[in-house]
Structure 1
Amino acid sequence: MTLFFFSLFFFCSHALVSLGSSNATGDELALLSFKSMLSTPSKVSLASWNMSSHFCSWQGVVCGRRHPDRVVSLHLSSFDLSGRISPFLGNLSFLQKVELGNNQLVGHIPPELGRLSKLQELNLSTNFLQGSIPVAMGGCTNLMVLDLSNNQLQGEIPSVIGASMKNLVQLYLRKNLLTGVIPQSLAELSSIELLFLSHNNLDGEIPSALGNLTNLLSIGFSNNMLSGAIPSSLGMLPNLSMLSVGFNNLTGPIPTSIWNISSLTVLSVSRNMLNGAIPPNAFDNLPNLQILYMDHNHFHGHIPASLANASNLFMIVLGANPFSGIVPKEVGELRNLNRLVLTDSLVGAKEPKDWEFITALTNCSQLEVLILGICEFNGTLPDSLSNLSTSLKILSLSANAISGSIPKDIGNLFNLQVLDLAYNSFTGNLPSSLAKLKNLQKFFVNDNYINGSFPLAIGNLRYLISLYLMSNAFSGRLPNTLANMTMLSELYLANNNFIGTIPSGLFNISTLSIGLDLSYNSLEGSIPQEIGNLKSLAKFNAESNKLSGEIPAALGECQGLRYLFLQNNILNGNIPGHLSQLKSLQRLDLSSNNLSEVPTFGVFANATAISIQHNGKLCGGMPAMHLPPCPLQLPKNKHKLLVIPIVTSLVGTLIILVLLYKLLTWHKRNKTEIPSITTMQRQRHPLISYSELVKATDGFSATNLLGSGSFGTVYKGELDGQLGESTNVVAVKVLKLQTPGAMKSFVAECEALRNLRHRNLVKIVTTCLSIDHNGNDFKAIVYEFMPNGNLEGWLHPDTDGQMEQKFLNLIERVSILLDVAFALDYLHCHGLAPVIHCDLKPSNVLLDADMVAHVGDFGLAKILVEESSTVQQSMSSMGLKGTIGYAAPEYGAGNVVSTNGDIYSYGILVLEMVTGRRPTDSTFREGLSLREYVELALHNGTMDVIDTRLSLSLENEFQGVGEGDSSQNRKTDCLIALLKLGLSCSEELPSSRMPTADIIRELLVIKGSIL
């Protein structure tokens, strides 16, 4: 039947072409067939493919020299082609090269391509191809390069690839959904040089027979489920340059033979279960090694000094292993060293001589990242720390036991952006040379024993975003230079010995949004009225000081305030009613002051949300507070008795007016609240039956299928009049209860969304807990339907004929990013308790009829019970925390979830929306991430990484509307700003990531510039 269809199609195509030319050739017909199976926009890209010119002159078509009328190459990569690959390409019998990568092609790989016996290169990477790799491809016996990366191919790798394609030199199958084991037949590819199978679902062991492939240059097997040991036979590959097997389940030691591959430049074995000690002479024979990733395994013993023999090493990541001993000073001989990460190991320094490696590292002029946190370093930092490379951007020595003073010339590291010295035992004053760190954005020196006055030098660091000085022994007054830090978003000065008044200029830093903590000091005087300038401040903590005077009414203007702690001061007067304007306020503690009258409205109507005990003269408030009524201030002498009749009259009139108001309000409420009973019931999510959902979804038919995820399948449904409407279009998520974790996902999602109300969050309409027709448990969540699907479908459309519709212009992309930022800001900062989404990605961003974005799928969400609480206990059984590519790197290390993790995912989302590339895109070479791809591009040729369709849209806009250079430059600047925003949000160090308030502020500026 299939053969008949293709024959009929070929006959019709031939007939149509013959109307224009009786001399049409088979190659011409095959090309026209290829074009005919593309969607309309793609045909526009191939406008030159028509009968008015010879097909050998068509764009992307190359014909041979010896056979000038036969097609030998198709160069159509990055042509924005969509549709299916025509099987008639198999008729181009002289074809030697096919490049169709980086398009939007869908469907299966035609087995007819296996007829191309002369084919040498086939590139179908970065499309949306599905199904299995055809066995018929074994007919391409001359194939040298096969690249099927970054598709959605499934099934096993056919053994025919190794058995028939004996000339294969490069094989790329990474970033698909391939399963099964690595076939032994690949060991027959005697010519193979590059072998990349990473980012699949392959299991089993690495075939030891691969050690016979003496031409192999690179092996990329990372991000699979491979188990067993690394075969020692791989050490027999004399030309191997890269061995990447990280993110698997490999066990045992690294074979001794691996340390003898002198050609090795990249060795990556991160995040396995490898163990054993690294031999002392391990790196003696690796002079070409450049990148070494061995973190998150079970390696033990000392870090070998032979590292220095790998003289080309520029990146070393060994953290999260039980390495012991000291850092060998020989590491300092690596002149090209760019990054050294030993976090969370047992290496350390106890004696002065143990710090010699720091002095040695001064030879590494390229060093940008030095992270030695959570190790066992103690003793005093050597002065040579100040002589490290001026290229250094991140220096972290946190959570050690280092004592003594911070080196006085640390300001020599003038390019530092992050300086983390927290949780140590540093003493003395902060050095004045800190004033030289003009680029410093994050400074953490909390939980030490540093003393002296607040350093004026810090007040001149204008780019500082985060400043942590709490839990030290600072004294003296807070300087007015604090007001100079105009980009500060969080300032923590608690648990010190500061005295004097709070400088009013501090409250002119409008960027202060995350927190301002002045608690446990000896500050006095009143709280400045200027505090009302901090509109976005989420937390203000000034407890346990000597603050006096009245609470300023201006606090009511801090609309972002969630936590307000003023207890243990000597504040007096009435509690201002303006505090009732703080709609986001969750916790208020005014206890242990000299306050008097308590309001009865706003947050004060909820006795459980506030703490006011130990205020001796308190009166008023709600009955639940059990406070005495506030007495009228009657006159104390007889001369004032004349006022009593007037006061009595006024009070009587006031009482009558209040009674009348109450009566009118009661009457109005009785009239208006009757219809709202149904609304209230609806808000409480009334359960719906299984049979009703069967009817609504037409028996959960395939035509109503919207998508499927790990824990559930989503269908479109119509609930006839069941929710107060004539017809309700909904999305029904049916839980896959047989999947481990599905029930926990159901509970987490319901719990997370139960008390959340925001325009940018998906809305639960109702739920179903029932039994299906087979007597099995059935659970479903019914959501408000989103007509425009999810963001994934717009960024990476994969349906024929949809390309002209599924496109987002620049302003739409920025608006969606703003919507998602608003949702995160609400989840993290403005709900009843902070909620962490844990799985933010394009497929979980839904778009309504007006293209307003709604964040959905809270199946992995975590709720923080208190502001200072963690979710350590729940994490132990959580398993995977998000989706590969979007999940924060610290989650892979087993760290507890945090709001910073969501910010990382958001940063990747920003980069994906601007570049049009997924973080798992196969176009990134092994070891390169989306973030690094963008970071490199920002230095040379930004527009090269912009989503091709977006870039073309802007070009057409400029030409069509005739916009000037200034408008073009403005929009280009906006694209650069978006890329920088994505990079800032996806920083490797969680504390370096941009908070939601700053994200929103930045996006509003970008949107305003575009408009």
Structure 2
Amino acid sequence: MVMEHHCSVVLLVASLLLARPSSPYAWNAGTDTDHRALTQFRSLITEDTYGALASWDSVGSGGNMSAATPASYCRWHGVTCGARGRRRGRVTALVLRGQDLTGSMIAPSPLADLAFLRRLDLSQNSLSGGVPTPLPVSLEYLNLSRNALRGPVPPELGSLRRLRVLSLEVNNLTGTVPAVLGNLTSLAILSLTNNYLSGVIPSTLGNLRALTGLYLNYNMLRGSIPSTVFNLSSLQHLVVQTNHLTGTLPPNAGSRLPSLRLLSVDANQLHGAIPASLCNASKLEVLQMLKNSFSGVIPDCLGANLKNLWAFVLDFNQLEANVDADWRFMDSLTNCSNIKFIGLAGNKLRGVLPDSIANLSTTMESLSLWNNTVSGKIPQGIGNLVNLRRIWMGTNNLSGTIPDSLGNLRMLSVLYLYDNKLSGQIPPAMGNLTVLNDLSLFDNMLTGPIPSSLGNCSLAALDLHHNRLTGPIPKELVLVSTLTQADFHDNMLSGLLPSEVGHLINLQVLDLSGNRLTGEIPASLGKCQILQYCVIKGNIFQGKIPDSIGQLRGLLGLDLSRNNLSGPIPDFLGTMRVLEQLDLSYNNFVGEVPEHGIFLNGSAFSVEGNIHLCGGIPQLKLPPCSINGSTSSGKRSHKLLRIIISIASTILGIAFLLSLFVLYHRKRKLRKEEHALPLISDQHVRVSYGNLVNATNCFSSENLIGIGSFGSVYKGTMMSQGREVIVAVKVLNLQQRGASQSFIAECETLRCARHRNLVKILTVCCSLDSGGLDFKAIVFNFLPNGNLDQWLHHHVSEHGTYRYTGLDLAQRIDIAIDVASALEYLHHFKPIPIVHCDLKPSNILLDNDMVAHVGDFGLADLCMKTRVASQIYQVAGLQEGEQLDMLLQYGLGNEVSIYGDIYSFGVLLLEIFTGKRPTDDNFVQDLNLHRYVQVALQEEQVANVVDQQLLSIKDQEHEGRTSSSSSTMEMTVACVTSVLQVGILCSKELPADRLPISDVLRELHSIKDRYN
């Protein structure tokens, strides 16, 4: 018994000896190595835009590597160290994502010496060179995407057997996909998207049994997709679109992919039949195979088995349907209750369009069948698909009438039925489509009048050409100010062109040719200031060309031929500098043809068929305008008089402009808007009101995501480079006092400022709405996780579900650091600091990765001079005393300076970690949030004021062990205590007592590293 006890003691002692360094210098040797590797890596960074490596340059990097301890480099930004055992003090993660670092990656890489490195994320920077090699074999996560890495994918990566994520997307990598990547049997994600890789997809990737996502799209890969890839039972996403892949999909493509959710093989050169085995991939949600050469009949089991399918995109292949039986796949798609997108355009589909289209799920948003030879009628039941937004059925053989039921599709924004054999009238019920943006019905056999109800639609493009429409152009239609393109040519329209045409302030193209329109050209046409092409040939217009046409400074083409226009050719046509094509032929113009501007280029204009014209350039071969000397002398005198008058007018004009210039500069100091708007247009191309109407479904309440002091924010969908992009549209309420100043302040700030933690402005809109009133809006990137206020205070949605489930400790610290980083950038902005002036949770937005972005700069002020609180009230539209307590809490009660933002940030920190608003009803008399927290800190009662959600979070695994509930709570309270102390220091009453934001950021990073 004694012997057994003695042996146990010996074994225990031996294990303890083995568990610690063999010498007092072993630990230092390891940390010295890590310190040296990091400092060598730092030396490769040539530019640090956001100061992400400031802590690297100031802590523990003085060259004394022997003095390195966990308190030095383990506190550097982006560096995480182990806390226990052999990993204690050793670098386990290096994460510097999206810091705009510039530098080069070299081989051999200093990172290879980080023996315990598990996570390396240097994505979204400006690093160049090749992928660093060698790398530590302990690496589990490698993300170097969105840099400028060149050269091949190193085969040495195949030795990283622990690697679970390998992302090298959006770089300049060349060469082939190394076959040795098949050795990474722990790999779950492999992304080589958007590079210049060539060669074939190695069949060895079929060895990656843990793989859930394979992303090889946007490269130059050739050959077929290896059949081994279709044996990966864990695979959820297979994305190989936009390559040069050939061959067929194996017959058993879907038999061994029970987890597959996304299959994207579009934009390749694949051919053959669509394998019926895909019906066995029962979890499939997205089937995307467009722009290939797939042929044969579409399997009718797809919809029957794939109940989760929501995107079925097979456009531009060679798929066939000739008889009713070939259309059974459409019947089966009615089983897909989540289906949203069906794309079958550009195939060889024939036969009658099945009525089963009307039985598709009401979740349908897009139906694309254009460029086939489908016949039959459009089913009346299509009106049941009430969420349809886009219908593309052009270039087919559809006949019959346009069903009235289309008027039920209140969400419809695009309707293309052009190039068919449709007859009858345009249903007046289409006027119910108030968000309809694009209507194209050309090349049909439609008759009757254009319904005036179309004036209810938010049309941007209307194309009705080459039909048999009769009657006048409705006045209601030319009152649609969002219209940018209107094409009525080759119909039988009659009557006058309504004088209200001047309301089309966004009109760029107008084609009225080949009709029977009469009367004079309305002078109001000159109000269409951005009109580029005006074609009204082949009508019965009479009278003179109105002088207002000369106001169309952007006009590129004007065709007035084959009418009954008369009078002289206006001289102003020769002064329109951008005019490229002018056709005045076959009218009744008289007099001299001008000899300047476009009239000097015989190939750019035509006056043929006007028998009473004279003069002009010799190329026209017209008779001279006079044949005797007296007339010629009189003509010269007349020209001299015109020159004298012109010179005098020019002098007077210059004097007038100079006076305006002086007056403008006198008013400039008083009216900021006069100079701010041009600055906006320098940076951002403005979108039209019609674009935003279409993007937001006519600013529908369903798309409303927030209401602020100066306007409302809507979620919208816009096209960018051929792709749909989700945006947030902030529409200013210009009736609210201060809204215009808010618009200018926000645009001016975001025009200059660029930081990963600021919201990104995409474009702006300064226009008129459908009622002719001023309209201003700003378009931002849409951040899907809402704002911080919702996560802190509104966990339950309006439907009773828990959308916002609360934030854990790490997330709150990260958000605090993100906001502090944004403030540091703003407060050190050159040449003048920027003060936000309205920092609060509702103005902090969260993206997909829960990264915080500071927004709403409507009260931002460039600190050229200080302003007192009364000016803040004026800009904000508040009366003195109104909401004064709230303004004081957010630091707006004193002069506008960076110290006000620091005060606001301090209050924000207290709110984030206590879960209490600064305007809480419990804070009365002398008690406020600052005092509430300060007392708790003094009495060591932080556990009583901390947000109780933080204390109820489940224990999490840390370094392979599970901490006890009590130790987790103690660590949480200690961490929150440190953060609250920072918040108290920031929200001191006297500005001079508040911490500078740089010190705040450094302290928050230290807290994060300490309790990570």
Correspondence 1:589 to 2:593: no
Structure 2: which amino acid aligns with 1:598?
G
How far the C-alpha of 1:552 sits from its partner, in A, is 2.4
Residue 832 of structure 2 corresponds to: 960
**1:59 aligns to what?**
77
* 1:650–1:89 Cα change, 3 Å: closer
Kept in 2: contact 1:530–1:554 (CA 8 A): no
Answer yes or no: is 1:339 the counterpart of 2:366: yes
Residue of 228, 250, 254 corresponding to 2:274: 254
**TM-superposition CA deviations, 1:493-551 (whole Å, max 9, x none):** 111111122221122322222x1112111112222222222222112211111122222
| Structure exhibiting the larger radius of gyration computed from Cα positions | 2
The verdict on how the C-alpha distance between 1:950 and 1:250 changes in structure 2, with shifts beyond 3 A counting, is farther
Q: Provide, for residues 688-732 of structure 1, a one-character-per-residue CA deviation record: whole Å limited to 9, x for no partner.
A: xxxxxxxxxxxxxxxxxxxxxxxxxxxxxxxxxxxxxxxxxxxxx
Deviation at 1:51, TM superposition (A): 3.5
Give the corresponding residue for 1:111.
133
- Per-residue Cα deviation, 1:261-303 (whole angstroms, up to 9, x for no partner): 1110111111111111113333210111111211111000144
Q: Distance in 2 between matches of 1:199 and 1:552?
A: 55
Deviations 1:180-231 (A, max 9, x none): 2111111111111111111112111111122321111111111111111112
Alpha-carbon deviation of 1:952? 9.4
Partner-residue secondary structure (3-state), 2:521: coil
AA of the residue aligned to 2:378: W
Question: 1:24 Cα shift?
Answer: 5.8
Alignment deviations for residues 468-515 of structure 1 (CA, whole Å, 9 cap, x no partner): 1111111112221112212212211111111122221122322222x1
Q: What percentage of aligned pairs have identical amino acids? A: 32
Residue type of the partner of 2:220? N
Summarize the alignment of residues 200-349 of structure 1 with structure 2, pairs less than 5 Å apart: 200-236=219-255, 237-301=257-321, 302-303=326-327, 304=329, 305-332=331-358, 333-349=360-376
* Corresponding residue of 1:546: 564
- Name the structure 2 match of 1:993: none
- Residue equivalent to 1:775: none
RMSD: 4.0
Decide which of 77, 93, 107 is 1:73's aligned counterpart: 93
**CA separation in 1, counterparts of 2:824 and 2:609?**
64
> How far apart, in 1, do the equivalents of 2:378 and 2:59 lie?
76
Match of 1:477 among 487, 496, 505: 496
Do the aligned partners of 1:35 and 1:43 also contact (CA within 8 Å) in 2? no
Q: Secondary structure at the match of 1:141?
A: coil
Q: What do the CA deviations read for 1:622-681 (whole angstroms, capped 9, x no partner)?
A: xxxxxxx83228xxxxxxxxxxxxx599689999x9xxxxxxxxxxxxxxxxxxxxxxxx
User: Residue 526 of structure 2: SS of its match in structure 1?
Assistant: helix
State whether residues 111 and 135 of structure 1, in contact with CA within 8 Å, keep that contact through their aligned partners in structure 2. Answer: no
Relative to structure 1, is the Cα distance of residues 587 and 144 closer, same or farther in structure 2, using a 3 angstrom cutoff? same
| Residues paired across the two proteins, number | 652
User: Residue type of the partner of 2:43?
Assistant: S
Hey, what does 1:379 align to over in structure 2? 400
What is the alpha-carbon distance in structure 2 between the residues aligned to residue 100 and residue 453 of structure 1? Answer: 64
2:518 is the alignment partner of 1:499: yes
Matching residue's letter, 1:385? L
Equivalent residue for 2:194, pick from 147, 172, 175: 175
Q: Give the direction of change, closer, same or farther, for the CA distance of 1:651–1:519 in structure 2 (3 Å limit).
A: closer
Cα gap change, 1:59 to 1:598, in 2 (>3 Å):
same
Alignment counterpart, residue 623 of structure 2, candidates 606, 619, 622: 619
Go from structure 1 to structure 2 and tell me whether the alpha carbon gap of 1:496 and 1:162 turns closer, same or farther (over 3 Å shift).
same
Please, which of 36, 40, 43 is the counterpart of residue 29 of structure 1? 36
Match of 2:578 in 1: 560
Instruction: Name the CA distance, whole Å, in 1 between partners of 2:552 and 2:635.
Output: 42
- Write the deviation string for residues 802-840 of structure 1: whole angstroms up to 9, x where unpaired: xxxxxxxx999976989xxxxxxxxxxxxxxxxxxxxxx
- Contact persistence 2:579–2:598 (CA under 8 A): no
CA distance in 2: counterparts of 1:412 and 1:176, whole angstroms: 47
What letter is aligned with 1:481?
A: E
Given that 1:209 and 1:233 are in contact with CA atoms closer than 8 Å, whether structure 2 keeps it comes out as: no
SS at match of 1:48: helix
* Contact 2:274 2:299 (8 Å CA) reproduced: no
- Name the structure 1 match of 2:469: 450
Which residue of structure 2 aligns with residue 615 of structure 1? none
How many Å separate the matches in 1 of 2:91 and 2:163?
17
Q: Which residue does the alignment assign to 2:456?
A: 436
Q: Which amino acid aligns with 1:588?
A: F
Partner of residue 736, structure 2: none
| Paired letter, 2:580 | R
* Conservation of the 8 A alpha-carbon contact between 2:834 and 2:860: no
1:48 and 1:585 mapped to 2: Cα distance?
A: 70
Matched residue, 1:459: 478
Q: What does residue range 854-1003 of structure 1 map to in structure 2 within 5 Å?
A: 937=782, 956-957=828-829, 960-962=832-834, 969=857
Residues 210-267 of structure 1, C-alpha deviations (whole Å, 9 max, x = no match): 2321111111111111111112232121111111111111111111101221110111
Q: CA deviation at 1:433?
A: 0.9
Match of 1:680 in 2: none
Moved more, 167-176 or 363-372: 363-372
Whole-angstrom CA distance in 1 between matches of 2:272 and 2:635: 88
Aligned AA for 1:239?
S
Q: Cα–Cα, structure 1 residues 584 and 313, in superposed 2: closer, same or farther, change >3 Å?
A: farther
The answer to whether the aligner puts 1:598 opposite 2:625 as a matched pair is: no
Would you say 1:135 and 2:150 are equivalent positions?
no
**Relative to 1, partners in 2 of residues 1:23 and 1:282: Cα closer, same or farther, differing over 3 Å?**
closer
Deviation of 1:955 after TM superposition, in Å, equals 7.0
Structure 1: 5+ residue stretches without partners? 1-17, 613-617, 621-628, 634-646, 658-809, 819-884, 891-910, 918-933, 974-1011
1:355 to 369, 378, 393: 378
SS of the residue corresponding to residue 391 of structure 1 reads: coil
- Give yes or no for contact 2:307–2:337 (8 Å, CA) kept in 1: yes
Q: Could you give the per-residue CA deviations for residues 740-783 of structure 1, whole angstroms, max 9, x where no partner exists? A: xxxxxxxxxxxxxxxxxxxxxxxxxxxxxxxxxxxxxxxxxxxx
| SS of 1:111 mapped into structure 2 | coil
**TM-fit CA distance, 1:576:** 3.9
Contact 1:958 1:968 in 2 (8 A): no
Query: SS in structure 1 opposite 2:148?
Result: coil
CA–CA separation in structure 2 for the residues paired with 1:583 and 1:502: 26
Per the normalisation by structure 2, the TM-score is: 0.59
268-277 vs 86-95, which moves further: 86-95
Pick closer, same or farther for the CA change 1:421–1:965 going to 2, 3 Å. farther
Query: Deviation of residue 887 (structure 1)?
Result: 8.3
Structure 2 CA distance for aligned equivalents of residues 417 and 60 of structure 1: 47
The verdict on how the C-alpha distance between 1:326 and 1:178 changes in structure 2, with shifts beyond 3 A counting, is same
Helix, strand or coil at the partner of 1:619: coil
Number of the residue aligned with 2:914: none
C-alpha distance in 1 between matches for 2:825 and 2:280: 53
For 2:44, give the aligned amino acid: M
In 1: Cα distance, 2:581 partner to 2:134 partner:
66
Which residue does 1:91 correspond to in 2?
113
2:628 to 627, 632, 638: 632
Equivalent of 1:393 in 413, 424, 431: 413
Amino acid at match of 1:587: A
Task: Give the conservation status (yes or no) of the 8 Å contact 2:680–2:751.
Answer: no
- Taking a change above 3 Å as real, the CA distance of residues 466 and 550 of structure 1, as seen in their structure-2 partners, is same
1:681-720 matches, cutoff 5 A: none
Match in the other structure for 2:166: 146
**Gap change, CA 1:812 and 1:190, over 3 Å in 2:** farther
The answer as to whether partners of 2:50 and 2:100 remain within 8 angstroms in 1 is no
Return the letter of the residue paired with 2:581.
Y
